[in-house]
Amino acid sequence: MIAKALHLIVCLLAVAFSTMAESYTVYSVHGKVWERTDRGNVAISPRDSHLTDDTRIVIGNGGSLTLYLGSSRRMVTLTEKGMQRLSTLVRRADPSRKSAAKWVGSLMGSLVKSETPEQTHRRVLQSQGGSHRGDDEDKALANAFARYLSGDTTGADGKVSYIIKDSDDGTSYLEVTNATENYLFVNAVIISDKGRELLLPVDTNPDNNCCAHLCVPPLSTVALSELGFFRDQLQGGRIILIASPKEVNFTILCDQTATYNPAEPSAEIYISE
């Protein structure tokens, strides 16, 4: 009788632990990242969903692995060098490399079902998690924004727009519409007599630069309700929404000394006020 009871307890514990196990889908791979198997190091590819808590992951210098966690419905970017169990890497990941953006689930569903991921998703996949931008790309972004402020270009032409909505807790958030066929990373700059500041938080870690929580899929409207702010922050300021098909360093837009130079490259951006 006791043996049967113990057996039942063991079975129940096994079921409990199995339901607690996380499911992983690869969102992007950057640089040197492998799965360690009995056959040696095996390449990991976007859309892979066979990884488990016990999978041994190898990350080399400059490498990163971005995963969608199905059970907790969030995204995490792993950059810890060396070999380690996947669950350990996720647990020890820098909080700034974790995202719970509400569009992630639908994006992953679209990715997994896509018959032509190379055409519809590859660009955004390869720009995610651990991308390393150079000074030239940041300067091109700043030059494009300075060009808009100088009145030399009209900006988004209605391809990107936003509205401000209020939550029940007293905060507000942006609802952004992306009418283009590209994934766009977005943020808003507040320009006032006090200077410039970004409305939405970004990860400024130079080894990460992940803006997954600021990405809006093509032909869609996304409520960035998890990135709340107070309307008082906007008083007396000019609000400009900037959208880029590349994962960009939005903090560069707060530099008031930048001026438009037609001889220098300008990044592709969309703007809405």
77 against 159, higher pLDDT: 159
Alpha carbon 74 to chain centroid, angstroms: 10
| pLDDT band for position 145 (cuts 50, 70, 90) | very high
Q: Say what the pLDDT of residue 7 is.
A: 56
Task: Please tell me whether the overall predicted TM-score, pTM, comes out greater than 0.85 for this model.
Answer: no
pLDDT of residue 85: 96
Q: What is the mean pLDDT of the chain?
A: 75
Long-range contacts: 122-127, Cβ < 8 Å, 24+?
122/46, 123/182, 123/183, 123/245, 124/183, 124/215, 125/27, 125/28, 125/46, 126/28, 126/30, 127/28, 127/246, 127/247
Q: What average pLDDT does range 134-145 have in this prediction? A: 82
* Pairing of β 56-59 and β 74-78: unpaired
Per domain, the residue ranges of the chain are 22-127, 135-272
Confidence at residue 217, expressed as pLDDT on a 0 to 100 scale: 63
Give the residue, 65 or 44, on which the prediction is more confident.
Answer: 44
Lowest mean pLDDT among 9-13, 60-64, 186-190, 251-255: 9-13
Q: Return the structure tokens found at 97.
A: 């490399």
Quick: pLDDT tens for 211-259: 656 777 666 677 777 778 888 888 888 999 999 887 777 888 988 888 8
According to the model, what pLDDT value does residue 136 have? 77
Whether pLDDT at 19 is above 90: no
Given pLDDT bands bounded at 50, 70 and 90, which one contains residue 8?
Answer: low
